DNA sequence: ATTTGTTATCGCAAATATACGATGAATAAA
DNA sequence: TTTATTCATCGTATATTTGCGATAACAAAT
């Protein structure tokens, strides 16, 4: 019985890092995150004004960021206020730090 | 004349960060990078032994990592030695650091 | 109860990503 | 020259992503 890619199970950290990276892999989502991280929380409508794309498209990107855990939305009728999900944002930062951290005993060969 | 998502041009850093993030967004590629970063350079065959997937699939992931600039391959007939592309790897680290870095004048509202 | 403002979701089309087996290319060894 | 080894590339099938317009959902105001 042959093993294929479907059988692979990755460590929690690897899977989580990949999930975060995927959320960060689109320039629109990066723009949204930078906006939230640097300026303030905002409403969907604020982003619709800034970004030249359909409202439905932006809403979809927000959904992906929310599902990845990087942002959170608080109902503030009739609007929804989006903010960085600080705890998960910190976790993502930590995972990327670990990823880029060389082990001290790395063997260099090139 | 309507503006759509196709018209958007992003800053170099945003585009580059997105490209790096996309390369990091698959657990197999993360596994390869961790392997290279923590242990040593390696040949494609080493990865084929470690990862339970088709050789062609692994080769494809290596190609994507190479195209993203995160690794480099040195011909070492009949094999190819893959290593982290240190300069671009450092650049990626820097871009993610900037991404997660809060500006000091951030306005907190939630 | 109806209307308004805001945002999410649906349905679709096009593009991209993922994985595989089969084949090709290149070099070293026989 | 042939063979063996190693790795890339091709062709293909399936799944996921991206983007849009249209529509639904929901609370607040009228």
Residue B8 covered by a domain: no
Q: In this structure, is the CB of residue B61 within 7 Å of any atom belonging to strand C?
A: yes
Closest residue (CA to C1') to nucleotide D28 in the complex: A78
Closest alpha carbon to A14 in B69, B33, B49: B33
- Among the residue ranges A7-16, A51-60, B53-62, the one predicted with the least confidence is A7-16
Q: pLDDT at position A11, please?
A: 82
Number of domains in chain B: 1
Residue A103 covered by a domain: no
Residues of A in contact with B48 (CB under 8 A): none
Task: Classify A72 as helix, strand or coil.
Answer: strand
Residue B110 covered by a domain: no
Range of the domain at A43: 14-98
Q: What is the CATH number of the domain that holds B21?
A: 1.10.10.10
Between CA A74 and C1' D26 the distance (Å) reads 14
Residue B66 covered by a domain: yes
Closest alpha carbon to B107 in A35, A72, A108: A35
Q: pLDDT at position A4, please?
A: 60
Rounded Cα gap, residues A83 and A40, in angstroms: 7
Say if A109 is an interface residue toward chain B (CB within 8 Å).
yes
Q: Record the tokens describing residue B50, joined without a space.
A: 């470690």
- Round to the nearest angstrom and report the end-to-end CA distance of chain A: 38
Q: Does residue A43 contact residue A75 with C-beta atoms inside 8 Å? A: no
Q: Does residue B99 contact residue A34 with C-beta atoms inside 8 Å? A: yes
Say if A9 is an interface residue toward chain B (CB within 8 Å).
no
Q: In this structure, is the CB of residue B55 within 7 Å of any atom belonging to strand D?
A: yes
Q: Flag whether pLDDT at A68 surpasses 70.
A: yes
* Better pLDDT: A108 or B66: B66
Q: What is the mean pLDDT of chain A?
A: 88
DSSP state of B93: H
Say if A106 is an interface residue toward chain B (CB within 8 Å).
yes
Q: What does the longest C-alpha to C-alpha distance in chain B come to?
A: 59
Residue B92 covered by a domain: yes
Q: Which nucleotides of D are covered by protein (CB under 7 A)?
A: 4-11, 17-23, 26-28
Q: pLDDT at position B9, please?
A: 77
Q: Do A31 and B14 touch (CB under 8 A)?
A: yes
CB hemisphere CA count around A104 (13 angstroms)? 0
Which nucleotide's C1' sits nearest to the alpha carbon of B28?
C18
Confidence class for position A110, pLDDT limits 50, 70, 90: very low
Measured from the Cβ of residue B57, the count of other Cβ atoms closer than 10 Å reads 14
Q: What is the mean pLDDT of residues A37-63?
A: 93
For strand C, list residues 12-51 of chain A whose Cβ lies within 7 Å of it.
43-45, 48
Q: What is the mean pLDDT of residues A80-88?
A: 96
Residue B28 covered by a domain: yes
Q: pLDDT at position B6, please?
A: 58
- Round to the nearest angstrom and report the end-to-end CA distance of chain B: 38
**In B26-68, which ranges are continuous DSSP H helix?**
27-38, 44-50, 55-67
Q: Does residue B57 contact residue B26 with C-beta atoms inside 8 Å? A: no
Q: In this structure, is the CB of residue A28 within 7 Å of any atom belonging to strand D?
A: yes
Residue B86 covered by a domain: yes
Q: pLDDT at position A5, please?
A: 64
Q: Flag whether pLDDT at A71 surpasses 60.
A: yes
* Better pLDDT: A8 or B104: A8
For every one of its 110 residues, what pLDDT tens digit does chain B have, with 9 covering 90 and above?
455 665 677 788 999 999 999 999 999 999 999 999 987 799 999 999 999 999 999 999 999 999 999 999 998 878 999 999 999 999 999 999 999 987 554 445 44
Residue B39 covered by a domain: yes
| CA distance readout (Å), B17 to A56, B23, B50, B93 | 24, 10, 29, 10
């Amino acid at each position: 019985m042959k093993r294929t890619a479907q059988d692979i199970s990755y460590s929690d950290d690897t899977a989580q890092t990949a999930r975060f990276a995927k959320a960060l892999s689109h320039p629109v989502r990066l723009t949204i995150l930078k906006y939230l991280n640097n300026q303030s929380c905002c409403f969907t409508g604020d982003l619709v004004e800034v970004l030249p794309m359909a409202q439905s498209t932006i809403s979809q990107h927000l959904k992906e960021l929310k599902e990845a855990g990087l942002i959170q939305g608080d109902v503030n009728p009739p609007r929804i206020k989006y903010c960085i999900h600080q705890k998960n944002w910190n976790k993502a930062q930590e995972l990327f730090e670990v990823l880029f951290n060389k082990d001290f005993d790395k063997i260099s060969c090139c």
